[in-house]
Amino acid sequence: MTTVLRLLEDLLARPSVTPDDKGCQALIAERLGAVGFTCDHLPFGPDDFRVANLWAVRSGSRPGPTIVFAGHTDVVPTGPLASWSSDPFVPSYRDGKLYGRGAADMKTSVAAMVVAAEEFAKAHPGHAGRVAFLLTSDEEGPSVDGTVKVVNALKARGEPLDCCIVGEPTSVEKLGDMIKNGRRGSLSGKLTVRGVQGHVAYPQLAKNPIHLAAPALAELASIEWDAGNEYFPPTTWQISNIHGGTGATNVIPGELVVDFNFRFSTASTPEGLKARVAEILDHHLLDWSIAWTLGGEPFLTPVGSLVNALRAAIAAETGESAELSTTGGTSDGRFIAKLCEQVVEFGPVNATIHKVDEHVAVDAIEPLKNIYRRTLEALLA
């Protein structure tokens, strides 16, 4: 039983379903404090329930960059307990795998980061720069009282952040095969197209918003919004829901509501995408309005000191040549990138995240910890 495995078991046993931290951060702060970290608990949210956030820093004795480990201690709900092969909050071992809610997303990464920092601090007490942790219990939920507010607080303090590794599960087939060096932005819209309700037998007395909007929706679906770039695929536009009608077969609806989403690269901006949508809707002479929601802007970390150090650590520990990718959904990296120039995500295999019987390969846990420690050594030792 290794140090990191003992810590991971302790974290997995805590039913920290978002946004309830269940003491995970208090445990981590106690451990980090023992090796010289100054720990600052930053709760945010309504008075009846404050989201747990932790900012912990260890300063070295020489000038250097601030290297941040970021992650979350909350997990998604388990789903039907009867569908699990074992209790999701009792760490269980089968066939070389450790099972439990949060095993892959992302308590393995958090445990590995903590132990990596402990080992690094003991081996290099006079290291350069600073090692820091930014942890939240509001990543799997609405993400309004977590990392985004901590970043705002750090910005107000003038805290310098240079490099950040977010412990998201990025590996695909085996540990170390993929690093996320950016993420696409997410822009959602709720489009309302107004017509005139009427009887289907008298269409001349009505205006069917579904018929009117169909050509515009077809055009929106066929547009090439951008060509992407070296790191990002082209921006995509997808309809997720369409609502119209009263439920009766003999009534022309008076209104159509369409939910859609852009996943966009750094080759586009939210303002530019909104303007193009408006231009197309106006071209089709629609009576329309849109309620926009910007879920997150894209961020990108080109190859540099952080990517090179992490890639070298992965190669030394696993022999893998890590691919850089910007695929997938959003993460808290989108908030940290507003304050930190270099942000990447790296963690264990993501095949079972949010699933029943979530698990992580036991033989990947110690190497993951070593990769995090090697990266610190390359940047700060």
Per the annotation, binding residues are 72, 105, 140, 168, 354
Q: Which of 74, 159, 317, 332 is catalytic?
A: 74
Contacting residues for 211 by C-beta, under 8 A, at least 6 apart = none
DSSP state of 303: S
Tokens of 57: 């820093």
Contacts 24+ apart (CB under 8 A), 218-224: 219/280, 219/284, 220/260, 220/277, 220/280, 223/276, 223/280
Is residue 282 part of the annotated active site? The answer reads no
Tokens of 122: 């003991």
Contacting residues for 56 by C-beta, under 8 A, at least 6 apart = 28, 29, 32, 33, 37, 38, 39, 40, 132, 133, 135
Task: For residue 39, give the nearest of 51, 47, 30, 48 by alpha carbon.
Answer: 30
DSSP 134-169: EEES-SSS--SSSHHHHHHHHHHHT--EEEEEE---
Q: Which of 9, 20, 119, 139 is catalytic?
A: 139
CB 112 within 8 A of CB 365: yes
CB 89 within 8 A of CB 100: yes
Is residue 74 part of the annotated active site? The answer reads yes
Residues in binding site for Zn(2+) = 72, 105, 140, 168, 354
Residue with tokens 């993501």: 350
CA dihedral 335, 324, 364, 110 (to 10 degrees): -10
CB 179 within 8 A of CB 345: yes
Burial code (b: 16+ CB inside 10 Å, e: under 16) for 323-348 equals ebbbeeebbbbbbbbebbebbbbbbb
Please identify every residue annotated as catalytic: 74, 139
